[in-house]
Structure 1
Amino acid sequence: MHSAFTKSIYIGTICSLGALASATAGATEPVSPAAQDSVMAAAPADDADADPETQIVVTGSAREQRRFEVSYAVNALSQDDVLKLAPKNYAELLGNVPGIHVEATGGEVQNITRVRGIPTDRGYLIFQQDGLPLYHEIDGFFFNSGEGMNRFDLMTERVEVVRGGPAPIYASNAAAIANNITVTGGEQARGRAQVTLGDTGLYRLDLMQAGKLAQNTYFAIGGFLRQHDGYRDNGFPNDKGGQIRANLKHNLDNGFVKLSATYVNDKNLFYLPIPVSDPRNPSVSLNPFIDYFTGTMNSPSLRGLNISYRNGNGQTETLSRDLANGRHMRFGNVGLEYQGDFGGYLVSAKLGLTTGKNSFDAFYSTTNPVAATPFANSYLAAANTAFGTSANPVTRIGYAIGGTNGASVYDPNTASGLVMSGQYRAIEARFHSTQADLSVTKAFETGFGNHDVKIGVYGSIYGTSAFLAYQDMLIEVAGKPRTLDLVAYNAAGQILGYVTDNGTLRAATTLTNGDSDGKVISLYANDTWEITPGLRLDAGIRKEWYELSGYTELTTGGINLGKPGTLADDATRGFTGQRVTNLLKPTATNWTVGLSYDFTPSFGAYGRVSNLQVPPGAGVTLNAVPNIVKTQARQYEAGVKADFGRSYIYLTGFYTDFDPFNASFVAFNPTTGRNDQVVPFVGQAVAKGIEIDGKFAPLDWFDLAASITVADPQYRNLENTAGADPSAVNGNQIIREPKLFGNVRPTFTFDMGDSRLEVQGRFDFVGERFVDLFNRTSLPAYQTFGANIALTTGDWRFQVVGDNLTNAKGLTEGNPRTDQLAGQDASAAIYGRPLFGRNFRLIISRSW
């Protein structure tokens, strides 16, 4: 469809390529070092200890600036900073930034980040690589474009994280931006090799090499390979794969042109919540059956799973799935960037093309464990109707190990006395995303101050084709649980039939097949006005026009697949052969205004207000009846900043206001096995708080760094149309949001001639949270201790990292499929995703 909208994106892309072509002809005006070495030529990793006074940031700014000078909250984590922190995953890395609460317990990817109380699983935190996203939207279909697609390795020069501020101007849907700036080659060759070994079966190799290829031409290449058994015992490897990134940069008389490529092929297992206490008596731990620190519902019993459903032609199809495939992400990205200075007009053109696929296999928590005997008896009547006769009725329902045809009898009462169900989710998605950005920046003087104006256009064409099938399984309460069958017996103990089918409780409870496509064109402008030396007014606006289209194949329930001897296939879903198409054309208008004043070169203050509108994602068109929700968040912030050489402090107060805020959710229905219980809550959500980002270094051999957030996230003015009492929700703490979180990191450094020894401690803390709107069930506060010791001698570095040294207990997430309205029938959570237990890693690297 060649609409005017589509043509506008084509034109934007052509303009980007046109600017690149014209640039190769050269220009007579020389480019400044600042322009020449902008985003792509970041400071080398050995500048990690540079004072904040001299740290350069480029994200959220018209051009590069010192961190101290910008009028918004930004952190720059260099490669050496990250290597010292040695996070287990990207979410844990972001947990070192104030204002960002993370739940990093899902594994290496698919974790949770929340920014300044924003009550979504991503917090509108947009990831970029060198200033462009790899995929336009914040979430794809069961893959996220954040830490799901962006992996930290030695090809990452530094990570810049902007919270609030101008983020809505420099990226779509952004309340915050995490910009991964890649290594670029220079005149001097440099490289690094690193091996990481962990006591959880972790083996990882990182490599990077950068340098000069020819006159004015430079290269960088690197990546990682990794295999990991996992922090929890799945019975098979948790993570396997890696990524490679490379780029070529050629300097021109007035700028540069750069070609880059990324390829990722990585499998990652997803940890879901587990039961930790007996629902019949929450004071009784389930640790004897499923270990708190290593237990998981992932199991080899789910490696050969079949999912049957009815296709649109009325035929039965069967999928064969393997849980060990996990979340298998494969994608490639090619990027092209040009930057040039034309008589003071700094032209920047960026183009990125991404294509890939994601196969997703995960075993989700659904309802809490239940007493085994009453659960089995609840199927007696249905089994008797299906398999019994008046002369030979079904008299008892018993248990057997799944798939053994009843031969391996299982008695839950000899174990925990409990059984539980879980949902196997199988998803296949193919995706593509093309994004282009063209901007012009010009600094000029007026009779009343200096202006630095940036005007740009951004466009993207993106989409996903997706298929999913969910199936409910019956399992024992144990680590690496076996699937269970419910067996129907007569009075003589003979088997008359099965409620289940090889461990399947309900086959194909959910089906989706469809395609979604999105197009967006954005115009943005920002002006940084230096009214007098030290006094700056920063203002920007971004206007976006979307076109979202797609289709979904309709399904119906209650289909009997006709498999004899089982009830599991009696109420499956199937495709009807019909489809529904959708077309939406939302818009969004974002703006920001900030004022800052530097009283001295070492002390300043700023204030800012930003408005963010987030239209529905393209995936909404995969619904037969799209739920159209436009979220709006207004962010206010004010801060003071002080620099004392090696010591510094950034103190920021924030207030985030969602109005209107849609807190509606879909809950799991244990009767149907579907997420079809819609609970609508619409109103307002606010979060006010203070962020503390500081470092105190009174001595050359000692410093104390801290990242602390104190907040009050709460619901306000919610309304409910489903009979729930909103007055009992208003004023409550937002689900899974703590009022206090952060970490404190003391470091001792000892110089020993040509060697240096660093000893760093770490104290992390997270306050009480709640799993439900009514704040009935809490996730208790927790604290953990960690430490790492690093010896650098010559070009070698040896580091030992230990996490959760005291095996402190703490739960994240709860069980969101069912928690949000009813809680867990306990004052403290009995079901959740626990912290990982004590673990150690040895990291050996050599630089050259």
Structure 2
Amino acid sequence: MKQFLALAAAGVSLAALMPAAALAQQADAPAPAEDEEPIAGQEIIVTGTSRSRAALDTPLAISQLDDTALARAGVTSQADILNTIPSIKADGGGGEVASNVFIRGLPSGGQFQFTPLMYDGITVLSSFGLNSSAYDVYARNDLGIDRLEFVRGGVSNLFGPGSVAGLINYISKDGGDELSGTAQLEVAERGRYRGDLALNGPLGGNFYFALSGFYRIDDGPIRTGLDTEGGQIRGNIEYRFDDGSGNIKLIGQYIDDQTTFYLPIPLDGPSRNRLRGNDGELVNSVQNQFDFASLGFNIPGGGRFTSEIADGVATRGGMIGLSFEKDFGDSGWGINGRFKYSDYSHKFGLWSDGDGVINVPETLTSFLANRNLGLPANAQFTFAGGGAVPANALLFANRFTDRDRPVDDFTAELNITKTLQTGSIDHAFTLGGFYGNATAGDFNVTTTYLAELNNRPRLVSLTITNPVGGAQTVISRGGLLNAGAGYVNNEHSAERFAGYIADQMKIGDRFNLDIGFRIEKLNGDIRRERTSTTVTDATTANLSTALRDVVWGNGGFLTGEVSTTEWALAAGALYKVSDNISLYANASRGFFFPELRSAAFRPLPAGTAANASASPGMQSFTAEIIKQAEAGIKISQPGLSLTLSGFYTSLDNRRQVLFVNDGQGGLTEQVNLVGTESYGAEATVDVRIIGDLSFAGNVTWQKAEYTAFDTRVLNIGNAVERQPEWLYNAGLYYDDGMFDLSVFTNYTGPNFTAATNAIELEGWNIANLDAGYTMDIGSNSLRLSLNVFNLFDTDAVTEGSPRQDANQVANGAFFVGRPVLPRRLTARATFTF
């Protein structure tokens, strides 16, 4: 498939570089009429509603980005786009995928835990928490995206997959009456090449199509020697009814892609700046394309495990879906629905940020002392490729985890709508249901290795000689420090049934009232393999216990079922003071189902064999209750859009899942039962300063703290970790149709690395620049542009080490954290026809 995608990319490049050929084919096409510029705030919102309404008429908070804004912001990952939206903090320091997405006031480890990611109203995955992979590993954005809608709070979030915290919905371009499209060639620093193509148009006989895709190769914003390569194809074929009463659309996607994910690295403790390695160069990454065969090891039952960590985050598979909508004449009745089946093979190569024991760089002497291995005089440190390790060198023991995570998902949504008039009230009723059935595997093997502290480090072997008797012990063999340090083999399945009813009312000319109710049931099946420690290498002499013994599955499984039912109620009201000013308020009582990976078994009966399969029953599994309220004002008129609101959120019974060190070199998923409360204010502004120059920005202020914390009561009253008090975006945008220039910045305020509030990270700004020149070629256009991500090469830390959680050292010589990605220049040639 990658070969096919590469050929497609070559075609994209040719299309971008040969506009004359495209011009000849389109010579007879009429020039597109210039649309009148929309009034800010009058954009039509379609996400999660039976009645499409302008943002000014909707009693909830709305954010919308068009395709121009998406192209300007989305140069690295989903995080770059979502960071521009008020109330969202998104960490993109990990690279293209697995963005950590935080919604104001809510505690999580990130990764879309409160916000479904949807394309065309179809959720990428119906249940989060079957494993810890983020939604964005299964799908990528491309030129086929028309806009992004983020809707939070209120009745709209009761529909479909549901989420009272908000819905992230990318809406694709549809086919038009004439063939049109965009071809783009992108070249960036450090070996990035990407080709994109998006086409849409008529097929004849009321059929229309839209097709988009990309292929790219990339050495990465940080060079590691690991590959980023692959692409995706998306598209739809639509049939539109003659009478304009609706459509039927077939939707498809195929992805075959791999990319590198970056974890926190050792930094200087006092300054939290990047360290210099043994070679004197700054350490930007501790990952490398090692000889992974040499890091393999024997496994129980025969055979050998060899890591595929070099594949990074690899996803292959796709989805097929069907959506439809139909209005039945003047009766007021209508029906709409969406169905989807997806199947992905997915591997997530996770490089950790320490060995799970010491977790910071060590001198040769301190490495030995920290593990009771004696004095340097009795140790032989050598590089795996040959040569002695210098006595003044720094070492960094680290881990990686091979995670194999196949997933399949079926979703169905069906809505019956009815509009009717009762006196002065214009009703829009929705009666609907949602079904989701997802199964995901989670097979993890953790390996610990020893290496030098360098960019793309070399592996280190270590042998210890006992001064009494001369016996030797191999501590690190070819860099392998702990064979099979951790093993997980889980399978989780979630089946969801939801029904909802809502009425979105227009009362007279000035008043809108929404009210809705949702009830949902979750059934979960859990299957987890048990483990044992087994001697797998009894023939190689002098091996340490960590190299000789392997933690591996023993064939016994714990199985169980959970089930819970919850309800949500939401209401919203809006009063139009004038045609340009609205006052609104909304409130909701909703829920989140706990992640199935957080469900715990009851203790096994005494005497149960270590490898026995058993079903001991499950501990308490109840929904997490969220209550929200928001009130504000919206002002919208030509040249100015302004919103100001205040909000309150409480979350009870939250099963917070953290992926943390177990203290023995392995990793475990720690579950805390917590409650939080937050309040704050939010504002947005979009104003035309003069002519073609405008300013846009938003700011969020919040106070979020823990009200409950079962595993550490001292955390009650502390600020929610990784949630800053202040977030803002601000930008100047100039576009006269020929020249365009955008300079915009995103600010993330100080925030704590863990719930103990022991370590606070400083706030930081990331500035970006996007500039272009557009030339007309007949009825077509060619834009040449330059984008600079992290314009001032800000060297800030986005997070500490989540795997260390509260055990991270506040004032040590070293600090483990993930810096923002460095400055990167990207050039584009975009041909629109």
TM-score interval (norm. to shorter) = 0.7 to 0.9
The 3 A distance-change label for structure 1 pair 104 and 201 is same
Structure 2 distance, partners of 1:396, 1:456, is 73
The equivalent residue for 2:25 is: none
- Judging changes above 3 Å, is the alpha-carbon distance between structure 1 residues 656 and 444 closer, same or farther for their aligned structure 2 residues? same
- Work out the CA distance in 2 between the residues paired with 1:173 and 1:293: 43
Q: Does 1:410 align with 2:389?
A: yes
Q: Could you tell me how far 1:436 is from its partner in structure 2?
A: 0.7
CA-CA distance at 1:419 after TM superposition? 2.3
Partner of 2:676: 685
User: So what's the TM-score if we normalise by structure 2?
Assistant: 0.87
Match of 1:584 among 551, 557, 562: 562
Q: Deviations over 1:220-259 (max 9, x none)?
A: 111111111111110233x211110111111124321111
Q: Which segment drifts farther, 326-335 or 474-483?
A: 474-483
1:10 is matched with: none
Q: Secondary structure at the match of 1:365?
A: coil
Check whether the contact 1:377–1:396 (CA below 8 A) recurs between aligned residues. no
Provide the C-alpha distance between the structure 1 equivalents of 2:592 and 2:158, rounded to a whole number of angstroms: 12
- 1:161 matched to 2:139? The reply is no
Q: Does 1:185 align with 2:162?
A: no
Q: Quick one: which amino acid aligns to residue 697 of structure 1? A: R
Gaps of 5+ in 1: 1-43, 385-393
Structure 1 pair 288/551, CA: closer, same or farther in 2 (3 Å)? closer
| Post-superposition offset of 1:57 | 1.0
Return the offset for 1:763.
2.4
1:265–1:329 Cα contact (<8 Å) kept: yes
Determine if the alignment matches structure 1 residue 230 to structure 2 residue 230: no
User: How far is 1:154 from its partner?
Assistant: 1.0
2:235: which partner in 1? 246
Residue aligning to 1:466: 442
Q: CA deviation at 1:290?
A: 9.0
Amino acid in the other structure paired with 2:783: R
User: Residues 46 and 54 of structure 1: is their aligned pair in 2 closer, same or farther, counting only changes over 3 Å?
Assistant: farther
The answer (yes or no) to whether the contact 1:778–1:828 under 8 Å persists in 2 is no
Q: Does 1:91 find its partner at 2:91?
A: no
Who is 1:616 aligned against? Answer: 594
Q: Equivalents in 2 of 1:373, 1:293: separation in Å?
A: 23
- The answer as to whether partners of 1:45 and 1:157 remain within 8 angstroms in 2 is no
Match of 2:259 among 236, 251, 268: 268
Change (3 A) 1:57 1:316: same
Q: Which residue of 2 aligns with 1:396?
A: 378
Answer whether contact 1:191 1:208 (CA < 8 A) is retained: yes
Amino acid in the other structure paired with 1:69: D
Q: Give the alignment's Cα RMSD to 1 decimal.
A: 2.8
Residues 1:779 and 2:761 are matched in the alignment: yes
Return the offset for 1:291.
Answer: 9.2
- Output the amino acid matched with 1:207: L
C-alpha separation in 1, matches of 2:166 and 2:283: 33
Distance, in Å, in 1 between the alignment partners of 2:277 and 2:599 is: 46
Residue in structure 1 matched with residue 666 of structure 2 by the alignment: 674
Could you say which residue in structure 1 is the equivalent of 2:27?
A: none
| Secondary structure of 2:366 counterpart | helix
Distance 1:369 1:784 in 2: 29
- The answer as to 2:559 corresponding to 1:573 is no
Task: Specify the code of the residue in structure 1 equivalent to 2:450.
Answer: L
Q: 1:152 aligns with which of 132, 138, 141?
A: 141
> CA offsets per residue over residues 634-657 of structure 1, 9 Å max, x none?
121112100121320122222111
Question: Which amino acid is 2:57 matched to?
Answer: E
Instruction: Go from structure 1 to structure 2 and tell me whether the alpha carbon gap of 1:308 and 1:589 turns closer, same or farther (over 3 Å shift).
Output: farther
Structure 1 residue 828: deviation in Å? 11
Look up the match of 1:634.
Answer: 627
**Which structure is higher in RCO with an 8 Å CA cutoff and minimum separation 6?**
2
Equivalent-residue separation in structure 2 for 1:710 and 1:46 (angstroms): 39
Give 1:692 deviation, angstroms.
Answer: 1.8
The answer to whether the 8 A contact 2:139-2:255 is kept is no
Of 745, 766, 775, the residue aligned with 1:763 is 745
| 2:365 pairs with one of 355, 364, 373 | 373
Q: Residue by residue, what CA displacement relative to the aligned partner does 1:157-196 show, whole Å, maximum 9, x if unpaired? A: 1111112333540224452111111121021221110111
How many Å separate the matches in 2 of 1:48 and 1:580? 63
Distance between the aligned counterparts of 2:381 and 2:425, measured in 1? Answer: 80
- 8 Å CA contact 1:352–1:436 kept in 2: the answer is yes
Q: Deviations over 1:180-218 (max 9, x none)?
A: 111210212211101111112211111011111112111
What does residue 92 of structure 2 align with?
104
1:125 aligned residue (111, 115, 122): 115
Distance apart, 1:440 and its partner CA: 0.9
- 2:724 corresponds in structure 1 to 738
In structure 2, the partner of 1:799 is 785
Spell out the pairing of 1:301-700 with structure 2 (5 A cutoff): 301=290, 303-304=292-293, 306-308=295-297, 310-311=299-300, 315-342=301-328, 343-366=331-354, 367-380=359-372, 396-402=378-384, 404=385, 407-411=386-390, 413-415=391-393, 418-447=394-423, 449-489=425-465, 496-557=472-533, 559=535, 561-562=537-538, 563-567=540-544, 568-620=546-598, 628=621, 630-663=623-656, 665=658, 667-670=660-663, 672-676=664-668, 681-700=672-691
| Number of residue pairs the alignment of both structures matches | 770
Aligned positions of 1:21-170 closer than 5 A: 50-120=38-108, 121=110, 122-145=112-135, 147-166=136-155, 168-170=157-159
Deviation at 1:268, TM superposition (A): 1.0
Contact 1:746 1:760 in 2 (8 A): yes
Q: Who is 1:825 aligned against?
A: 810
Counterpart of 2:799 in structure 1 is 813
Higher mean alpha-carbon deviation, 204-213 vs 760-769, is at: 760-769
Change (3 A) 1:167 1:65: closer
State the TM-score, normalizing by the size of structure 1. 0.86
**Structure 1 residues 142 and 302, CA, compared in 2 at 3 Å: closer, same or farther?**
farther
Asked if structure 2 preserves the Cα contact closer than 8 Å seen for 1:473 and 1:503, the reply is yes
The one-letter amino acid of 1:354's match is: S
Cα distance, 1:528 vs structure 2:
0.9
Q: Report if the CA contact (8 A) 1:293-1:834 is conserved.
A: no
Q: Deviations over 1:253-274 (max 9, x none)?
A: 4321111110011101100001
Q: 2-side partners of 1:293 and 1:537: how far apart?
A: 58
* Shift of residue 151, structure 1, vs aligned partner: 1.3
Q: Any conservation in 1 of the 2:281–2:454 contact (CA below 8 Å)?
A: no
1:747-789 alpha-carbon deviations (Å, 9 max, x no partner): 233x4xxx51112111222111111222221111112332221
Q: Distance in 1 between matches of 2:537 and 2:697?
A: 59
Identity of aligned residues (%): 22
2:830 paired with 1:845: yes
Matched residue type, 2:389 = Y
Q: Which amino acid aligns with 1:83?
A: A
1:747 match = 733
The change in CA–CA distance for 1:843 and 1:47 in structure 2 (over 3 A counts) is: farther
- CA deviations 1:625-683 (Å, max 9, x no partner) are 7664632221211121001213201222221111233457463134x2123595x7544
Q: Letter of the 2:366 partner, please give it.
A: P
Letter in 2 for 1:320: T
Q: CA deviation at 1:798?
A: 1.4
Moved more, 827-836 or 79-88: 827-836
- For 1:472 and 1:758, the matched residues in 2 are separated by 50
Residue 55 of structure 1 aligns with an amino acid whose one-letter code is: E
